[in-house]
Amino acid sequence: MFFSKKKIIFILFLLSLLVLSKYFSIIVYAADCDDKNGQEKVDCLQNKVNDLKGQAKTLSSQISIMDSQIRLTEARIETNKRQILDLTLDIDTTTKKISSLQDSLNKITEVLLNRIVATYQAGRVQPFEMLLSSRDASNLLARLNYLRIAQNHDKRLIYDVQQAKNDYTNQKDIYEAKKKKVENLKKQLEAYTVQLNQEKVNKQDLLSQTRGSEATYQSLLAQARAQLAAFSNFATSTFGTSLVPHKELSDEYGKYYNQRDSQWGNLLVNNDSSNCRGGPCTLARIGCLITSYAMVASRFGSSINPADVAVNSSNFWGGSADFMKPGPSANGHAVSYVADPSIQQLRDALSSGAAVIAGLSINGGPSSTHYSDHWVVLRSVDGESFKINDPAYQDAMNVSLNDHYSSWTIIEARIYR
């Protein structure tokens, strides 16, 4: 009996060492990038995140992915700030060059104008008059030589003026290009900052939801998988795996996107390579909610498309391809989640100017026992129904909900105000 207890204690000790070794290996793994800077560090951390995502999905591995993703976003922010600083210094240098070129151009132009006047006046003297006014042959040759030198000098002035104009134009173009790049980098910095804050919130939410329990995490992950399976089942049973040609469609509401668009239909959502009911977790299969969100974001002035949403890990739960609930704000417009909304609630939301995404169930509700099979954008009230943007059917912009979903039930809604 004594030997048995010692054996059990030894086994437990070995298991604890195994767990600790995995934990510290993850820390060391991420620390491999600490000696790098700028884009090299970003690329290194991105590779680490991708490698970690390839591991079995456990609570500890997911927390490691989140920690690495947070460090990756922090590195991107730091690189972004450095690029903005470098470009700002370049712009300052370019501005000084432009000012100097402007002064030089003004001086050369003034000299050229004076020479044009002098040449015009000299041109009024006829060759015969020059001959008569010369003291002797030597004086005539000297005056002719001076005239030739003056003409060559004038040609050189014309060339210098043209070259100064070209340099000035080039520097102005460089200035405008760098200025535009700084503006884009600042927008990117804002997006990265929002993403970083969301990633930190997501980690805290995961820890709060699971309370450190692997069983709870696996249960929630199974629910996420079931939701994705519902999306995939509708998309593949209705459209197969076909994609549609890319189109640029928009109206007064905003841009229309289709989840099966050939430009992004085969893109993996959150790089999730797991099986989504018979196939990979691509936008074409499970991207109805993602694509609907992108359309709502465009209504509020954002330029993001479904692909941009799909590759942002902060938008998804637990390392899966399941979109967060209630999800990110839409270009600054906060979102609220409503389970089993009434038709009147949705009408009131639309009437108040809110944007609404609706989750539809083919088998009715409630949401506590059913998953949404598809999501659409509710645009406006249409009699007893709604006008929608449908991300699944081709070119389904501002169509009636009853066209394809007259017997379906709205069991979820995300409302953006």
> Using alpha carbons only, what angle is made at residue 180 by residues 175 and 182, rounded to the nearest 5 degrees?
95
Q: Does domain 33-212 have CATH number 1.10.620?
A: no
Burial of 25 (0-12, 13-18, 19+ CB in 10 A): exposed
The pLDDT of residue 132 is 62
Gap between the Cα atoms of 248 and 251, Å rounded:
10
Per-residue b or e along 224-257, where b marks 16 or more CB atoms closer than 10 Å to that residue's CB: bbebbbbbbbbbbeebeeebbeeeeeeeebbbbb
Q: How far apart are CA 379 and CA 356, in angstroms?
A: 7
Residues (pLDDT < 50) of the chain are 1-3, 15, 17-29
Distance (Å, whole) CA 181 – CA 90:
12
Architecture of domain 213-416: Alpha-Beta Complex (3.90)
Burial label for 286, CB within 10 Å (0-12, 13-18, 19+), is: buried
Residue 205 burial (CB < 10 Å; 0-12/13-18/19+)? Answer: middle
Amino acid 206: pLDDT: 87
Q: Strand, helix or coil at 275?
A: strand
Q: How far apart are CA 405 and CA 5, in angstroms?
A: 64
pLDDT for the residue numbered 377: 98
pLDDT tens column, 39-57: 888 888 888 777 776 666 7
The H-or-E segment that residue 54 falls in is: none
0.95 exceeded by pTM:
no
The structural domains of the chain, with segments of one domain joined by +, span 33-212, 213-416
Q: Tell me what pLDDT residue 148 has.
A: 67
pLDDT at res. 250? 97
For position 153, what pLDDT does the model report?
Answer: 66
CA dihedral 393, 394, 397, 402 (to 10 degrees): -30
> What pLDDT is attached to residue 18?
46
Give pLDDT, residue 122: 55
Per-residue confidence (pLDDT) for residue 47, from 0 to 100: 82
Q: From the CB of residue 179, how many other CB atoms can be counted at a distance below 10 Å?
A: 15
Q: Quick: pLDDT tens for 371-387.
A: 999 999 999 999 999 99
213-416 and 33-212 share a CATH fold: no
Per-residue pLDDT, 28: 43
In this structure, are residues 333 and 254 in contact, taking their beta carbons and an 8 Å threshold?
A: no
